């Protein structure tokens, strides 16, 4: 089994892909944070990989940013 997908690597990849999708949509962290009922510094920690997303947030963000979960997790690369 390939152990290259550590929890830290996945969180970092998700954060990078989340940031790319958000900026491609022309949205700010503050805008998405508000939609998630979070503060901007909390949302920033999703993009930095410090906090992992729960299922509800993954589904919401994928729909909102028009990306698939595979794209979010970097499985399409």
pLDDT value, residue 1 = 38
pLDDT value, residue 2 = 46
| pLDDT at 4 > cutoff 60 | no
How many domains does the chain divide into?
1
68 Cβ neighbours under 8 A, 6+ residues apart: 62, 76
Residue 27 structural domain = 7-73
Closest of 34, 20, 13 to residue 67, by C-alpha: 20
Distance (Å, rounded) from C-alpha 13 to C-alpha 19? 10
* Cβ–Cβ under 8 Å, residues 53 and 12: no
Residue 42 included in any domain: yes
pLDDT tens-place string over residues 44-54:
999 999 998 99
Residue 2 included in any domain: no
């Amino acid at each position: 089994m390939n152990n290259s997908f550590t929890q830290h690597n996945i969180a970092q990849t998700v954060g990078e892909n989340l940031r790319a999708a958000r900026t491609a949509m022309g949205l700010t962290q503050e805008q998405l944070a508000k939609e998630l009922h979070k503060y901007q510094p909390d949302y920033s920690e999703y993009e930095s990989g410090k906090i992992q997303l729960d299922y509800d947030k993954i589904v919401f963000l994928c729909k909102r940013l028009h990306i698939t979960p595979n794209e979010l997790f970097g499985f399409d690369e």
